Amino acid sequence: MPELPEVETVRKGLEQAMIGRTLTEVILRRENLRFPFPEDFASRVIGSKIDSIRRRAKYLLIDLDDGQVILSHLGMSGRYTLFDAEKVNQFETNGDIDRSSRFGSATGFDGRHDHVEFRFDDGSTAVYTDPRRFGIMDLIDVGEETIHPLLESLGPEPFGDWNSKQLAQRLFKKTTSIKVALLDQRVVVGVGNIYACEALHRSGIHPQRQSKTLVRKDGKPTKKLDLLVDNVVQVLEKAVEAGGSSLNDFADVNGSLGYFGHQFQAYDREDQPCLKAGCGGTIERITQSGRSTFLCPRCQR
DNA sequence: CAAAGTTCCTGCGAGC
DNA sequence: TGCTCGCAGGAACTTT
């Protein structure tokens, strides 16, 4: 589920529910996701209050009032689900909680993948569910964001001061395909497979085109590259407004489905007509670096 | 069979 | 020739 718009949607949801609350209990139902949970994770965060929740690339940064920061990545299948005190009571059981959570299918599965439970002083709870366990959860100190191994080589935020001049510098003389470059989090962060396909389609750029062909000999961006940057930003903005996409029922923390999927022009539309006005082409699927790419060979050059 | 992500490894070719 | 670098592609993690 998670590219920038989905992570941003989750961030907003967690912000509403968590800020100002103090952690009273943290339940871990296994010792690792992609990596082991940090040593004494639960005891180190219990008693701290949530000050703010930030996003960097596809990572969530949960700031605690003691200077610690919970670093969370949703991987491919991670999600958070919030339960207010009343709902927690509804699900309350006397059974002990070991492998499965009592929230069960309320988190989208059977409870076996509810790996972390954060309980707050007002009786509410946030459950982290991640069937594939490609996600990560770590605990760092504020200020460590820039030196953490997972964060240190991240590129610019698309909603920051990112621009085509900067991108042109990064792609100058690069022979790698433009689509693979967009997925490279050192080039720009937050763009994943869906929004890379969408931005390239809207820009009329073939995903296999060599990156350097979008940069002028003098290192300045071409018009096409200007257009691509505009479209990356726009497609991400629109998706944030829509609350993300709903592939595999991606839901925000309250279970509401994002509706950006209704606006897909290329992604997951193999063999369907290209929606660009007057194009008349048919969307194809190819593979690049092991990932599916959807494109219209007629209007994407 | 495919899947929204990221990291690590191998092999190839260019250039010094 | 040998070394390094960039790059493409694949595997790995795992469950539905």
pLDDT tens-digit profile of A95-130? 556 678 889 888 888 889 999 999 999 999 999 999
Q: Is A2 one of the annotated active-site residues of the chain?
A: yes
Distance in Å, residue A153 CA to nucleotide B6 C1' = 13
Residue nearest to nucleotide B2 (CA to C1'): A292
| CATH code reported for the domain at A4-141 | 3.20.190.10
Domain edges within chain A: 4-141, 164-295
State the catalytic residue, choosing from A56, A58, A179, A224.
Answer: A58
CATH fold of A164-295 reads: Helicase, Ruva Protein; domain 3 (1.10.8)
How many CA atoms does the CB half-sphere of A106 hold within 13 Å?
20
Q: Is A291 one of the annotated active-site residues of the chain?
A: yes
For each of chain A's 301 residues, which pLDDT tens digit applies?
A: 689 999 999 999 999 999 999 999 999 999 999 999 999 999 999 999 999 999 999 999 999 999 999 999 999 999 999 999 999 999 887 555 667 888 988 888 888 999 999 999 999 999 999 999 999 999 999 999 988 989 988 999 999 999 999 999 889 888 889 999 999 999 999 999 999 999 999 999 999 999 999 999 888 999 999 999 999 999 999 999 998 886 655 667 777 777 777 789 999 999 999 999 999 999 999 999 889 999 999 999 9
Structure tokens at A95: 């059974």
pLDDT tens for residues A145-183? Answer: 988 989 988 999 999 999 999 999 889 888 889 999 999
Return residues with beta carbons within 7 A of strand B: A 1-3, 6, 34, 57-58, 73, 75-77, 132, 134, 149-150, 183, 185, 192-194, 245, 247-248, 250, 290-292
Where do we find the tokens 């990560």?
A: A136
State the catalytic residue, choosing from A2, A156, A158, A207.
Answer: A2
Say how far apart CA A196 and CA A267 lie, in whole Å: 9
Distance in Å, residue A172 CA to nucleotide B13 C1' = 20
Distance in Å, residue A182 CA to nucleotide C3 C1' = 31
